[in-house]
Amino acid sequence: MPGGLGDFLGGAAKGFQAEQQINNQANYQQQTLKLQQQQQQNQQQRELYARADKQRSDLMSNISDTIEQYRIAHPEASAADVARIVAPIKAVTLKLDQSAGRDPSTTDAQITAMIAQPSKAVTEAILARAKDPYKSQVEALTVEEKRAEIAALRQGTNLERVAAGGGNNSNAPASAAPSNASAAPPTPDQAGDKFLQGLPPGVRDQVQAIAEYRENPNNLPSRIAKGANQSQRELYVSLAEQYAAARGEQYDQSQFAGRNKAVTNFSAGKEATTVKSFNVLVDHLDVLKDATDALGNGNIQAFNTIKNAIAAQSGEAAPTDFNGVKELVGDEIVKAVAGGAGALGDRDQIKATINGANSPQQLQSLITKYQKLAGSQLSGLRQQYESTTNRKDFNKFLNPRTKKLFDQPDDKSDQGGGMSGTSGPVQWKVVQ
């Protein structure tokens, strides 16, 4: 009996231990499963919060960009105007905060602060003015022009459409219809002006400056703005090419450096000084030629009238006789030589030649001779200008008397014989 009882008790103990182990293992598996489920829920929650954070960040960036762009387009806008613009995006952001368990009042305060603070452009301008106190004065010179340009663009002017349409701006005033079909073709200036009239006012001058190689288009932004197909640089180059084509010329951006130098030289350089010297010489000699003609014809009344004009023109005492006129002729030619017209000859030799004239008729012949020499030099300068700038508007450097004397057309009335260059070299001859 004792042995049987011991075996029984021993077996019961083993059974209890086995059952306990099974229960422990089941509890462990349940705890492990619960832990795994909790980890999965935590991961899903983290992913949900991450998506909500990303959405909120994008919405806040959108609000910031909207505020900045609106202030750039509307510098005078009030905080209430800005708040009204961003209200729809703000409502979505606050709703997202509520769904994510955040306090919407924090986001509301952040957006309110963004609306109240100055724009990035204004802040940068303030910092720039602090570094350069004169910058604002320079910027103020163009603010009205920029406002006019923005106003034109607000009215629906689309530069890309204008460029694609060859300068056809629906807001530009319509050109008057020609009176008859046989009307003369437009001059280069007229054709160019017509093209410019199809552009917004704030764009015309810049397009013309680029086409005339006075402004480098590489200084314009090359970034393509959102919603655009071309950069500002590409647009202006395209318009400059079309403007040049309307004038019968060709714009080549790759030639800017050389042609800009040539344009500058003829506007303010040595070549400009030479052209000016010839202009003054031709002008003054023409008046002196009239005085000589009056003396030769014995028309003292006409001579007295002309000599007063000579005195006002030269700043010297009025000539009283043939010798006085002769001396002024020599002085004018010498001045032109000193001013850059050295091709006319040596100054002493010129003086001697003029002094050798013993009659009004001889002096008139000498004046005509030097006028022809001046015309020849101006013709060479024209060829130099046209070959180095690829432009056909040299006559703009000539004064009215020079144009009249050499039978050169005005820029606005040139029909091709002078300005356009389509009929060969221009003939420079003194009109008797």
Question: Cβ of 403: how many Cβ atoms within 10 Å?
Answer: 17
326 shares a domain with 296: yes
For 87, the token pair is 């209200």
Give the mean pLDDT of the chain: 75
Task: Answer yes or no: is pLDDT of 105 > 80.
Answer: yes
Does residue 299 share a domain with residue 228? Answer: no
> Same domain, yes or no, for 228 and 297?
no
Tell me if 401 is assigned to some domain. Answer: yes
Domain contains 426: no
- Any domain includes 178: no
Instruction: Give the C-alpha separation, 274 to 337, whole Å.
Output: 9
Q: Long-range contacts of range 401-410, CB-CB < 8 Å, 24 or more positions apart?
A: 401/282, 401/283, 401/286, 402/278, 402/279, 402/282, 402/283, 402/378, 404/431, 405/282, 405/286, 405/371, 405/430, 405/431, 406/282, 406/375, 406/378, 406/430, 406/431, 407/431
Query: Does 12 map to a domain?
Result: no
Q: Total structural domains in the chain? A: 3
Residue 137 counted as domain residue: yes
Four-CA torsion 270, 272, 274, 275, nearest 10 degrees: 160
Is 233 found in the same domain as 99?
no
Q: 95 in a domain, yes or no?
A: yes
pLDDT band at 372 (very low <50, low <70, confident <90, very high): confident
* Closest CA relative to residue 187, chosen from 415, 391, 403, 386: 415
> Using CA atoms in the order 237, 241, 243, 244, what is the torsion angle rounded to 10 degrees?
130
Contact of 274 with 381, CB cutoff 8 Å: yes
Quickly state the pLDDT bin for 128 (edges 50, 70, 90): low
What pLDDT does residue 175 have?
Answer: 47
Residue type, 178: P
Give dist(CA 311, CA 315) in Å, integer. 5
More reliable by pLDDT, 159 or 31: 31
CA triplet 324, 327, 329: central angle to 5 degrees? Answer: 110
The predicted model gives 166-189 an average pLDDT of 58
Q: What is the pTM of this model?
A: 0.47
Statement to judge: residues 332 and 368 lie in one domain: yes
More confident residue, 122 or 290: 290
Residues 178-188 pLDDT 10s:
445 456 788 88
**Residue located via tokens 């306090």:** 103
Residues 279 and 408 in one domain: yes
Measured CA to CA in angstroms, residue 294 lies from 288, 361, 376 at distances of 10, 11, 27
Question: Domain limits at 317?
Answer: 267-413
Dihedral sign computed on CA atoms, order 31, 37, 40, 44: negative
Where residue 344 falls among pLDDT bands split at 50, 70, 90? low
Q: Given 141, 161, 178, which residue is the final one in a domain?
A: 141
Distance of alpha carbon 197 from the chain centroid: 16
Kindly report, residue by residue over 235-278, the tens digit of the pLDDT.
888 888 898 888 888 888 888 888 888 888 888 888 888 888 88
The stretch 337-344 carries a mean pLDDT of: 58
Same domain, 126 and 213: no
133 and 66 housed in the same domain: yes
Which among 327, 287, 292 is positioned nearest to 310, based on CA atoms?
287
Note whether 304 and 373 are same-domain residues: yes
The answer on 363 and 231 residing in a single domain is no
Calpha distance 326→56 (Å, rounded): 91
Q: What is the pLDDT of residue 363?
A: 81
Asked if residue 273 and residue 237 are part of one domain, the reply reads no
Instruction: Give, as one character, the DSSP assignment of residue 199.
Output: S
The pLDDT value given to residue 212: 86
Position 279 in a domain: yes
Domain co-membership, 315 together with 403: yes
Is residue 129 a contact partner of residue 136, using CB atoms and an 8 Å limit? yes
pLDDT at 420: 30
Q: How far is CA 123 from the centre of its chain?
A: 25
| Whether pLDDT at 46 is above 70 | yes
Average pLDDT in the 319-328 region?
77
Question: Which SS3 state, helix, strand or coil, does residue 340 take?
Answer: coil
**pLDDT score for 291:** 81
Among residues 226, 251, 276, the one where a domain terminates is 251
CA distance linking residue 432 with residue 427, whole number of Å: 15
Which has the minimum average pLDDT: 64-78, 91-105, 341-355, 357-371? Answer: 341-355
Q: Are 247 and 191 in contact (CB under 8 A)?
A: yes
Please check whether residue 423 lies inside any domain of the structure. no
